[in-house]
């Protein structure tokens, strides 16, 4: 029984070392291929955009820089849409409170639970 546990322990140790080993150089090769494909796609997109200018940007409503409206589904299956940046925040979690303070949003917090 002792030999079995030693062999099992050695196998688990070897398996853990293999799992933590650094990756081989194949990701670098795929990165080069991905970069080349992205460059080719960018050139083809740029050529297509110079042929026919669109006026979609002029017809859309102006939005605040850096904010896009989004929707959230609550636990009661209600959809809530945020059209503008929230001005007041209540934090029910210590980690969320710390993150808000670290981001400099302490002035938007009107309540916290800790």
pLDDT tens profile 2-60? 888 888 888 888 877 777 777 766 555 555 545 554 444 544 444 444 444 444 444 44
Q: Between the CA of residue 61 and those of 24, 35, 64, 98, what are the distances in Å?
A: 49, 35, 10, 35
Residue 79 has pLDDT above 90, yes or no: yes
pLDDT tens profile 57-76? 444 444 556 778 889 898 99
Ramachandran class of 21: left when φ > 0, alpha when ψ lies in -120 to 50, beta otherwise: beta
Is the pTM of the predicted complex or chain greater than 0.75? no
pLDDT the model gives residue 78: 94
Domain ranges of the chain: 86-114
pLDDT the model gives residue 77: 92
Token readout for 3 is 């030999």
């Amino acid at each position: 029984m002792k030999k079995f546990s030693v062999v099992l322990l050695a196998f688990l140790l070897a398996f853990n070392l293999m799992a933590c080993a650094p990756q081989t150089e194949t990701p670098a090769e795929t990165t080069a291929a991905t970069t080349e494909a992205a460059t080719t796609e960018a050139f083809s997109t740029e050529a297509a955009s110079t042929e026919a200018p669109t006026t979609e940007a002029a017809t859309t409503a102006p939005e605040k820089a850096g904010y896009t409206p989004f929707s959230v589904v609550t636990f009661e299956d209600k959809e809530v849409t945020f059209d503008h940046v929230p001005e007041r925040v209540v934090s029910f979690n210590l980690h969320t409170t710390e993150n808000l303070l670290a981001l400099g949003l302490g002035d938007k917090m009107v309540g916290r639970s800790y």
